[in-house]
Structure 1
Amino acid sequence: MLSVDSLTWPAVWRRPAFRGQLGAVVALLLLLASQLPRYFAWVQARPGRILPDPLLAALPTHDVSGLTFAVIYLSIGLGVAVLLPRPLRLLRALWAYLGLHLLRCLTLYLLPLEPPPDLVLLRDPLVDQLIYAAPAPITKDLFFSGHTATLLLLALAVPAGWRRQVLLAGTVAIGTLVLVQHAHYTYDVLAAPLFVGLAWWLSGEIVKGEIVKCSDR
């Protein structure tokens, strides 16, 4: 039996089921991305509630946007570089990423919140233009922390070893930095691993058969 990491793109591309799954998840991600600006504009316009947060109340507020997005984009670059030559890991990561966004859309719908009172706006030059394109800044996309969740998902997706450790450290750093910026409640950060775990498990169920078939060939 071949290991998941030993399977190359030519080996898995010969399987119609793999091509079908990859095409489906990419199409669904593009469809979701096309709808997110409208959805987040609706989230921003909806009234919510302010949550008591003793930890945030004790933390002084600082603008750490530059450091935050340096960690995020360097971590994403590392994760993508590791996953691209590993098609089965990449396939599962894409399904998990889709599931994570759908879960986040659901939690934002179910739990409308106002931003923490001392919030300092996170400035992301890429996402602000492509995803959060709205007349006003998006500050109510709170529960759960998407930045923290994305880095943790990448840590799960890459093979065990130093790269996973780096991504786990990046996850902890981002969870801390968004709290220092008061861009999220503590609950948003603490809840992120629960939803990442669910999305990762669901993605494993989706691709499990394809991984077994490719590994057995």
Structure 2
Amino acid sequence: MPFPDSLTWPAAWRHSAFRFRLGAVVTLLLLLASQLPHYFAWVQARPGRVLPDPLLAWLPAHDVSGATFAVIYLGIGLGVATLLPRPARLLRALWAYLGLHLLRCFTLLLLPLEPPPGLVLLCDPLVDQLIYAAPAPITKDLFFSGHTATLLLLALAVPAGWRRQVLLLGTVTIGALVLVQHAHYTYDVLAAPLFVGLAWWLSGQIGEEVKW
């Protein structure tokens, strides 16, 4: 039977299907996280191409790292705090997040790119140490924008209301800030919602028990 949105943790934990899917997605996320540093080091080492981008050519580059990560981490905090008491929504969000990362690894494999001209290095004090642990900064993880996609995925995962509106506003803000930083091409930002939609749809196909 479908898991209702109002499902509590004690009730969810009584379902073996829920326990299995939660354990599976957490295991897969940890496995992926263990491999990402090697993958992004490879992405950084290979040659790519520079894309023409009229918007970035017109837009002066500025360092807005502080504002960028303030919005990202506040948005993640809001999303996680909203999802933790809602096990059914949290489960789907985790599967969608896994799918989003796998899709991004695939697009990075297919589209080797050089950083946009005028790039101002975007320094993330957390991810740079845990995921992008490489001798040189990772600047070629471009298509598509993971920062933009993460907040949009959280906006889809939380219930409709003011939290979703805040996260949607944060998504637009992050998309604009990474362009001001010249950390992404315009195409990277515009493509992010397409892949978020695909990851979200796929997460709904993980089993008949996870319905919305």
TM over 0.5: same fold? yes
Runs of 4+ in 1 over 3 A off after TM superposition: none
Aligned to 2:146: 146
Aligned AA (1:188): D
**Within-5 A mapping of 1:95-114:** 95-114=95-114
Shift of 1:210: 1.1
The residue aligned with 2:30 is 30
Residue-by-residue CA offset, 1:74-124 (whole Å, 9 max, x unaligned): 000000000000000000000000000000000000000000010000010
**What is the CA deviation profile of residues 168-204 of structure 1, one whole-angstrom value per residue up to 9, with x for unaligned ones?**
0000000000000000000000000000000000001
Counterpart in 1 of 2:132? 132
What amino acid is the match of 1:180? V
Q: Distance in 2 between matches of 1:6 and 1:137?
A: 43
> Are 2:2 and 2:209, in contact at CA under 8 Å, matched by a contact in 1?
no
Identity percentage of aligned residues: 86
Give the secondary structure class of the aligned counterpart of 2:210: helix
Aligned to 1:87: 87
Match of 1:118 in 2: 118
Q: CA RMSD in A?
A: 1.4
1:204 and 1:82, CA in 2 relative to 1: closer, same or farther beyond 3 A? Answer: same
Judge conservation of contact 1:4–1:89 (CA < 8 Å) in 2.
no
Task: Decide which structure has greater helix share.
Answer: 1
Q: Which residue of 1 aligns with 2:210?
A: 211
Unpaired segments ≥5 residues, structure 1: none
How far is the alpha carbon of 1:4 from its aligned partner?
A: 2.8
Alpha-carbon distance in 1 for matches of 2:181, 2:113: 17
Residue 49 of structure 2: aligned partner: 49
Native 8 Å contact 1:82 1:158 kept in 2: yes
Q: Equivalents in 1 of 2:10, 2:114: separation in Å?
A: 49
| Corresponding position of 2:199 | 199
Query: Cα deviations across residues 16-71 of structure 1 (Å, max 9, x unaligned)?
Result: 11000000000000000000000000000000000000000010110000000000
Cα contact 2:92–2:210 (8 A) shared by 1:
no
What secondary structure sits across from 2:95 in the alignment?
helix
- In the alignment, the residues of structure 2 paired with residue 2 and residue 50 of structure 1 have an alpha-carbon distance, to the nearest angstrom, of 47
Is residue 96–residue 202 contact of structure 1 (8 Å, CA) maintained in 2?
A: yes
What TM-score do the two structures reach when normalised by structure 1? 0.95
User: What is the match of residue 62 of structure 1?
Assistant: 62
Letter in 1 for 2:209: E
Does residue 20 (structure 1) correspond to residue 23 (structure 2)? The answer is no
Q: Distance in 2 between matches of 1:150 and 1:2?
A: 26
Distance in 1 of aligned mates of 2:190 and 2:109: 19
- Give the TM-score normalised by structure 2: 0.98
Mark the runs of 5 or more structure 2 residues left unpaired by the alignment.
Answer: none
